[in-house]
Amino acid sequence: MSEHLKTIAGYNPISPEQLDTINTIKAHEENLAALWKAIVEHDDLDTDYDLTREAREHFRMGYMLLVRAVASPRDPFSFHEEPITGEVHGG
């Protein structure tokens, strides 16, 4: 494969096609977020706060999972893969 692959710690190398797909997913996410905000902020709509909040969380989770499905992250908790190495930073 002659194409340059991008790498992210904890993920398999990402091909240009995967990166394009991830960018397309993120663009759709922005469009859906704008629609969600327009609905929530619309003064003439009597929207249910709990349902709009729940919808937001499902949208966030769905888009995150879709990106991860394309990016193919390695599972650091798997017994069948090499662990990700590096320093632990925290407070």
Q: What are 42-73's pLDDT values in tens digits?
A: 989 999 999 999 999 999 999 999 999 999 88
**Any domain includes 66:** yes
Residue whose C-alpha is closest to residue 27's, from 73, 67, 55, 58: 67
End-to-end CA distance of the chain: 42
**Any domain includes 33:** yes
Domains held by the chain: number: 1
**Any domain includes 6:** no
Q: Which two tokens stand for residue 72?
A: 């193919």
Residue whose C-alpha is closest to residue 72's, from 31, 26, 30, 13: 13
Q: Which residue has the higher pLDDT, 4 or 9?
A: 9
pLDDT of 37 > 70? The answer is yes
**Any domain includes 48:** yes
**Any domain includes 9:** no
State which residues form the domain around 23.
16-71
**Any domain includes 25:** yes
0.85 exceeded by the pTM?
A: no
Mean pLDDT of 13-37: 95
pLDDT of 22 > 80? The answer is yes
**Any domain includes 3:** no
Residue 3: pLDDT band by 50, 70, 90 thresholds?
low
pLDDT of 89 > 70? The answer is no
**Any domain includes 54:** yes
